[in-house]
Amino acid sequence: MHIPFCARKCAYCDFLSFPGNRQMQQEYTQKLLEEIKYQSAYAGEYQVISIFIGGGTPSILEINQMTAILEALNSQFDIHPEAEITLEANPGTVTSEALVQYKSEGVNRISMGLQSADDKELNYLGRIHTYDEFLKSYQRVRMAGFDNVNVDLISAIPGQTVESWKNTLKKVTMLKPEHISAYSLIVEEGTPFYDRYGEHVEMDNDSMTREERRRLMSLPDLPDEDLEREMYYLTREFLKEQGYERYEISNYSRKGYECRHNIGYWTGTEYLGLGLGSSSYMNGCRFHNTASYQEYKNGGFERKEEFDKLLRQEFERLTMEEKMEEYMFLGLRLIEGVSAHGFVSSFGQNIRHVYGPVLDKLEREGLLELKEGFYRLTERGIDISNYVMSQFLM
C-alpha cells in the first residue's frame, strides 16, 4: 500500500512522493478506502500473509486516517492471524499515541528510515531529522511494544568516509533492531542528486530555487568506487560480527526476523498494490495503478470501465519464459539462491534443461555455485550481480 505524502522530498529520492496538505491527505484516505473495498472483490480466494504500508511517509497521516485504513483492510480482506504487517515511520513524524494505535490495529513491524547517524550526512541527503530525533522516535517505537523493527541505511552518500559509515553501523547495532536494510546510494535520473552527480550536471533546473541550486552544487563529491566497495565489505563483515545474517544482497536480520513481505517479492508470491502508482502481480499478470494524483482522486472505482482504466494500467500476462526469467533474477537476490527443485515445481521442467549452458558458464566464471540443491551467487557474483542476472534473460 502506497502513501505518497512526505514532509519534504529528499534529494536522492525518485519514488512517487510529494508533500501534501491536510485536505489532500483526507481526500487520498477517502479514495484509498474506496479502492480497498473494490479491489478486495478481486481477491476473495486469497489469504493475505503480509502487508507493507510504504511511501512517502505513511506515519505523516493523522491517526484517525491510518486507523480507518487498517480497519478497512481487516474488514475487506482475509488476513492470516500471523500475517506480517509493516508500516514505514520516519523520524520526526511519529508519536507515541499513534504507535500504540497502530499496534492495536494489527501492525506488528515498524520500518524506520534513518539512512545515516551523521547529522551532516543527513543534511546532505535532505532528510528532515537529526540522529537525536531518530533515537527519540526509535525509543517511542520500543515503548509502544514493537519487537520487530527495521532500520534503513544508505552508504556511499556525499562526503561519507569509511569511518563515518562504520560509526553509523556501530550506533545502529547498539540499538539492536531486528532487521537492517543497508543500501548503496544509487543516483536516479530525475532527482536533484542526478542534477549534481549525473553524467551531465544540470545547473539551470527550473524546478529549484536559486538557493536550492546553490546548496546542491556545494555538496561534497560522492565516495569513489573503491571506497564504495570498501563500505560494502565492511557492512557485510561488521553486521555478521554483530549477529545479523545477510539473507539478501542488501538485507540483514537476526534469525527469524527476515522480512517476509520482501521475500515474497523475490520468490514469486502474488501481491496486490493499493494506492497511487502501486504495482501488482496476480494470476500471472502484471499491472499497476495510475500515477496521476488527479486521476486517482477523481476516479470512480465502482464502474468497471473506470476501475480498469485507473487500476489495471499496462495490464500484461507474463509468458512462461518471462516467469522463468523473473524466478531466476529475483531469486538470485537471496543469499540462499534459487531452488532447483522449486524450479521444477513451478514450471514442470528441470532447471538445467532451460538454463544449463548459462549455469555452466557462470559456474566456470566463479560467479555462481550449486550448494545443497540451490544455485546461488558467489561473493564475486554478488559484486557484479546485475551482469549475472542479465544472463538469464531469454
pLDDT digits (tens, 9 = 90+) for 208-262: 677 777 888 888 999 999 999 999 999 999 999 999 999 999 999 999 999 999 9
Question: Does the structure show a pLDDT above 90 at 29?
Answer: yes
For position 207, what pLDDT does the model report? 63
The 10s digit of each residue's pLDDT in 72-85 is 999 999 999 999 99
Q: What percent of the chain has pLDDT over 90?
A: 87
The parent domain of residue 342 ranges over 323-390
Residue 202: inside a domain: no
The mean pLDDT value for 91-105 works out to 95
- Kindly state whether residues 7 and 117 are assigned to the same domain: yes
Given 266, 283, 298, which residue is the final one in a domain?
266
Q: What is the DSSP string of 258-298?
A: --HHHHHHHTT--B---STT-EEEETTEEEE----HHHHHH
> What average pLDDT does this structure show over 193-210?
71
- For residue 109, being part of any structural domain is answered with yes
If phi > 0 it is left, if psi is from -120 to 50 it is alpha, else beta; for residue 190 that is: left
Tell me: do 234 and 333 sit in the same domain: no
Burial 179-200 (b: 16+ CB within 10 A, else e): bbbbebbebeeebbbbbbbeee
Do 59 and 142 belong to one domain? Answer: yes
Query: Which CATH number characterizes residue 343's domain?
Result: 1.10.10.10
User: By mean pLDDT, which of 194-198, 235-239, 268-272, 331-335 is the weakest?
Assistant: 194-198
86 assigned to some structural domain: yes
3-state SS, residue 197: helix
Q: Are strands 368-371 and 374-377 parallel, antiparallel or unpaired?
A: antiparallel
Q: With 0-12 CB in 10 A as exposed, 13-18 as middle and 19+ as buried, what is 41?
A: exposed
CA angle 119, 121, 126 (to 5 degrees): 95
Question: 97 in the Ramachandran plot: left (φ > 0), alpha (ψ -120 to 50) or beta?
Answer: alpha
93 and 236, same domain (yes or no): yes
311 occurs within a structural domain: no
Beta partners for residue 88, in sequence order: 111
The dihedral of CA 150, 282, 269, 248: what is its sign? negative
CA distances 368 to 136, 148, 338, 361, 385, Å, are 43, 33, 11, 9, 10
In a domain, 193, yes or no: no
On whether residue 285 sits in a domain, the answer given is no
Omega into 56 within 30° of 0, i.e. cis?
Answer: yes
Instruction: Give the model's pLDDT for residue 200.
Output: 61
> Strands 179-184, 149-155: parallel, antiparallel or unpaired by DSSP?
parallel
Domain-embedded: residue 195: no
Average pLDDT over residues 10-31: 93
pLDDT at 218: 83
Does 121 lie in the same domain as 47? yes
Are residues 261 and 331 both part of a single domain?
no
Residue 191 lies in a domain: no
* Cell numbers standing for residue 119: 547529522
Cell 506488528 found at:
108
Q: Name the percent of the chain lying above pLDDT 70.
A: 98
The pTM of the full predicted model, rounded to 2 decimals, is: 0.94
**Domain total of the chain:** 2
